[in-house]
C-alpha cells in the first residue's frame, strides 16, 4: 500500500518519514493512515514506523480525520489507485 501511495503522490518513503509538517505531506500521511487502518492492511505501529512517528501520533492523526466531515481528495485518490492495482492483479491472475 505504501508503494502505491508513493507512486500516486510522487513522494518517497523518506519524504513521508521526515519530521517536517508541510501541509501536503501531512495530508498524504493522513490519507495513508486512514486507508490502511480502514482496510486493516497494516497496523498502526507499522504505519508509525514507516512515517517515523510514534503510534500515538498516528492514532491522533486518525482521530482528527474522523472529526472532519468532508472526504479528503487524497483519500479518494489513494483508494482509486488501490482499486486499479487490485483490478490489474486480478486480471493478471486470470490470464
Residue 71 belongs to domain with CATH number = 1.10.1750.10
Asked if 1 and 82 count as a contact pair (C-beta separation under 8 A), the reply is: yes
Angle value at C-alpha 82, between 1 and 9, nearest 5 degrees: 70
**Residue ranges making up the domain that contains 54:** 2-93
29: buried, middle or exposed (CB in 10 Å: 19+, 13-18, 0-12)?
buried
> What confidence tens digit (pLDDT) does each residue in 35-73 have?
887 777 788 898 899 889 999 999 988 888 776 655 678
The DSSP secondary structure of 37-72, one letter per residue, reads HHHTSS-HHHHHHHHT--HHHHHHHHHHHHH--SPP
Split at pLDDT 50, 70, 90, the class of 4 is confident
Question: 7: part of which helix (H) or strand (E)?
Answer: helix 2-9
Q: What are phi and psi of 34, to 5 degrees?
A: -65, -45
The pLDDT of residue 69 is 52
Domain count, the chain: 1
The pLDDT of residue 92 is 57
Amino acid at each position: 500500500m505504501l508503494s502505491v501511495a508513493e507512486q500516486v503522490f510522487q513522494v518517497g518513503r523518506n519524504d513521508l518519514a521526515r519530521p517536517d509538517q508541510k501541509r501536503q505531506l501531512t495530508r498524504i500521511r493522513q490519507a495513508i493512515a486512514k486507508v490502511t487502518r480502514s482496510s486493516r492492511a497494516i497496523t498502526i505501529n507499522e504505519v508509525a514506523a514507516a512515517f517515523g512517528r510514534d503510534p500515538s501520533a498516528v492514532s491522533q492523526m486518525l482521530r482528527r480525520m474522523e472529526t472532519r466531515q468532508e472526504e479528503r481528495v487524497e483519500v479518494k485518490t489513494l483508494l482509486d489507485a488501490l482499486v486499479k492495482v487490485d483490478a490489474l492483479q486480478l486480471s493478471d491472475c486470470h490470464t
